[in-house]
Amino acid sequence: MRVITGSARGMTLKTLEGTDVRPTTDKVKEAVFSAIQFEIEGRRILDLFAGSGQLGIEALSRGAQHATFVDADKNAVKVVKENLEKTKLIANATVAQTDAIAFLTMTDKIFDIALLDPPYGKGLLQKALAKVGEHIAEGGLVVCEHPFGEELEGAYGDLVRQKEYKYSKTAVTVYRKE
């Protein structure tokens, strides 16, 4: 797993160990960032269900102003911090060890882009989509990675589906706050 482009281009990132881990492939990550490339610079990013932090780190490497990384797992938080140190992007980051839904309930922060890649098959994506819109700036984006075939609504509050992409068994759905 590596950073594709930007200030940390080519750096390899540490990943989490275990059978529950499902890192975003380089192909899917490249496609996600191609779809939103002109919307990243100077923006505030939320990497919810951060895992190793690779999505938020890619956004920071491409010029995002700040990224907030949220994961409930203490090992994930440790790996995110190590990856931020290695890429020298930690000064532009906040890392929170907490449940994603609890974070969305408690925070008053507003983000321009939210990156959602929750564990599959647990209904977490739909729960997060129902809450994350309250924390997205007008015109902001929510980018969701999920298994192809998993049904998502056309809208969640003010979030309206813009596009959906398919990459093998993975789908990426992009919502925009209207």
Tens of pLDDT, residues 126-164: 999 999 999 999 999 999 999 998 989 999 999 999 999
CA distance 77 to 56: 13
Average pLDDT, the chain: 93
Strand partners, 177: 159
The answer to whether residue 173 is domain-embedded is yes
The answer to whether residue 131 is domain-embedded is yes
Domain that holds residue 34: 26-177
- Whole-Å CA distances, 96 to 40, 69, 74, 132, 147: 21, 6, 10, 16, 26
Structure token pair of residue 94: 């906040």
| Radius of gyration over every alpha carbon of the chain, rounded to an integer in angstroms | 15
Q: How many domains does the chain have?
A: 1
DSSP at 69: E
53, pLDDT greater than 60: yes
**pLDDT above 70: percentage of residues in the chain:** 97
User: What confidence category does residue 22 fall into, taking pLDDT thresholds of 50, 70 and 90?
Assistant: low
Q: What is the mean pLDDT of residues 36-50?
A: 96
